[in-house]
Amino acid sequence: MTTDKPDEQGNQTGRSGKLAAIYILFGLGLVLFWQVMALRIASTSERFSLSARDFVDFEPSYPGYRVASAPVSSSPTEPNIVAYRLTSRADRNRRAFIRLAHGYNMRDCMRYRHYTVDLLDDKIVRGYSGPSARVQIWRLTDPQGEPALWISSMLRATDFTPLDLDTRSMPFPSIGVPVDPGWSPRGLSRDSLRRPIYNLRMFMRAKWNNARRDLATFLRLRRPAWASDEVLTLVSGTLASGEESVDPATRRDEILSQHLRAIEQLNLGVRRSTPPPLPRRSHASPPEGGSMAPALRRAASPPDEGVLQ
């Protein structure tokens, strides 16, 4: 009878040890699986169908302006396709830009960069000789307080037909409180150890925002959904002149005219030349049923009734 109690204790200790070993192996297996899946996702490289090479022969013209190509990345995984700088022949300080990019949420993208973005107008405008277009007119203010006027429209990638689509419907980070513009990750340093809780909180917030506030993306199990291959975003706007600040709202009609002319030239250029390749899919889109899939599906496959006439 004296040996039963030690035997029971030994059995309990053995069971506890086995259970702890199972938990440890399960945890290690879970971490290993997570790392393998994250590396697999990171190693994939989805290419956009359209690139600057498809616009080599495209030469936009704007009466009264000098037009120069602006540099964009040649990488097939970058969203910007082509960009142009416009400089008035009468006043070299009167400058503007036009940029065509794969479909993205322009408003949240600029908010993510610490701009203040206000919608001034959202309307359907008939082009001078081309199709009507939905234009969204924005006032942007950079972190230094410099204002700008931007106009955005969504176009179908296959023929540049304007769509009745809000740029805000495209997937992008759900911005709550932006990361402090004065903070940047510097790794483990003497300064970071002085405020460890604050720096850890800012680091995790930056990672969470970079992950589009999506858990699977945060865990690196999904590439961020942020740009479409089937829908394009055309953005026109003012550029700072470097001279005395002028309210960009005074240039609203000028920028709108340039914006509509860009749509017409793109649309006309496709009809005169070989259409661009049919886009395959949305870049870095979440799988069906993901948190951003509904908005992405609406943007990626616009119905014919969404085309403006």
**Across the chain, what does the average pLDDT equal?**
75
The type of residue at 130 is G
Q: CA of 231: how far to CAs of 153, 170, 212, 242, in Å?
A: 10, 10, 20, 34
Q: Best-predicted range by mean pLDDT among 5-14, 25-34, 117-126?
A: 117-126
Q: Is residue 196 part of a domain?
A: no
Rounded distance between C-alpha atoms, residue 17 and residue 9, angstroms: 12
Pick the residue with more confidence: 180 or 150? 150
Pick the residue with more confidence: 134 or 113? 134
Interval 243-259: pLDDT, tens: 545 677 889 999 999 99
Q: Is residue 38 part of a domain?
A: no
Select from 147, 159, 85, 86 the least CA-distant residue to 116: 147
189 by DSSP, 3-state: which?
A: coil
Q: Which of 14-28, 101-115, 266-280, 285-299 has the lowest mean pLDDT?
A: 285-299
Select from 220, 198, 197 the least CA-distant residue to 208: 220
Q: Which of 40-44, 52-56, 120-124, 226-230 has the lowest mean pLDDT?
A: 40-44
pLDDT on residue 293: 29
Q: Is residue 5 part of a domain?
A: no
Q: Best-predicted range by mean pLDDT among 96-110, 224-238, 278-292?
A: 96-110
- Per-residue pLDDT band for 301 (boundaries 50, 70, 90) equals very low
Q: Is residue 182 part of a domain?
A: no
pLDDT on residue 229: 82
Contact between residue 127 and residue 260 where contact means Cβ atoms under 8 Å apart: yes
The CATH number that applies at residue 82 is 3.40.1000
114 by DSSP, 3-state: which?
A: coil
**Half-sphere exposure in the Cβ direction for 95 (13 Å, CA):** 13
Instruction: Please list the residues that pair with 236 across neighbouring strands.
Output: 98, 151
Q: Is residue 159 part of a domain?
A: yes
pLDDT on residue 113: 81
Q: Is residue 143 part of a domain?
A: yes
pLDDT on residue 84: 94
pLDDT on residue 183: 61
Number of domains in the chain: 1
Checking if the pLDDT of 143 tops 80, the result is yes
DSSP 92: T
Torsion of CA 102, 175, 303, 152, to 10 degrees: -50
pLDDT on residue 187: 66
Rounded distance between C-alpha atoms, residue 106 and residue 167, angstroms: 6
301 by DSSP, 3-state: which?
A: coil
Checking if the pLDDT of 304 tops 50, the result is no
What sections of the chain are H helices per DSSP? 4-43, 106-112, 190-194, 196-210, 215-218, 252-272, 293-300
CA 77 to chain CA centroid, nearest Å: 12
Q: Which of 102-106, 124-128, 263-267, 270-274 has the lowest mean pLDDT?
A: 270-274
Pairing between β-strand 228-239 and β-strand 162-163 as defined by DSSP bridges: unpaired
Q: Which domain holds residue 170?
A: 52-174+227-282+299-306
Checking if the pLDDT of 32 tops 70, the result is yes
DSSP 146: -
Q: Is residue 185 part of a domain?
A: no
When pLDDT is averaged across residues 33-40 and rounded to a whole number, the result is 80
When pLDDT is averaged across residues 167-183 and rounded to a whole number, the result is 63
The radius of gyration of the chain from alpha carbons, rounded to an integer in Å, stands at 26
Rounded distance between C-alpha atoms, residue 219 and residue 200, angstroms: 17
Q: Is residue 8 part of a domain?
A: no
- Per-residue pLDDT band for 307 (boundaries 50, 70, 90) equals very low
pLDDT on residue 237: 94
Pick the residue with more confidence: 7 or 58? 58
pLDDT on residue 216: 78
% of the chain with per-residue pLDDT over 70:
66
pLDDT on residue 98: 95
